[in-house]
Amino acid sequence: MAMEDAQIKKLLQEIKMEQHTSPFKDDEEIIGYIKEAEYDINYICGTEIDYKTDLDARSLLKNRVLYADHKRLAEFKELYGAEYAALQAKYYNTTNI
């Protein structure tokens, strides 16, 4: 289940405040980056993460938005690989198959 609109709006405001986003920046563009980041992190971790409670994942999401906004996602993936790996380990589910 994807984040609800209220949670996305809260993240949008946090990102704008923390990253000193231009007041002329289109909110819909940043919301798009938030949704892409959520999908990317959830996909790599193999689960839907609760970004309200998992502050590591929330921080990673906000940093991914910053890099996406500056068109530097390749650099982000390189620099934040360890954070992705830590989240993968945290959410890893073993099976008996």
Q: How do residues 54-87 score in pLDDT, each as one tens digit?
A: 999 999 999 999 999 999 999 999 999 999 999 9
Domain that holds residue 15: 5-90
64 belongs to a structural domain: yes
Distance CA 39, CA 24 (A): 26
Q: What is the pLDDT of residue 96?
A: 64
Distances (CA, A) of 56 to 17, 21, 24, 27, 96: 19, 22, 29, 24, 29
User: Is it the case that residue 44 has pLDDT exceeding 80?
Assistant: yes
97 belongs to a structural domain: no
Q: To which H or E segment does residue 85 belong?
A: helix 81-90
pLDDT tier, 4 (very low <50, low <70, confident <90, very high otherwise): very high
| Total domains, the chain | 1
95 belongs to a structural domain: no
Distance CA 25, CA 53 (A): 28
Assigned token pair, 48: 């839907």
pTM: 0.85
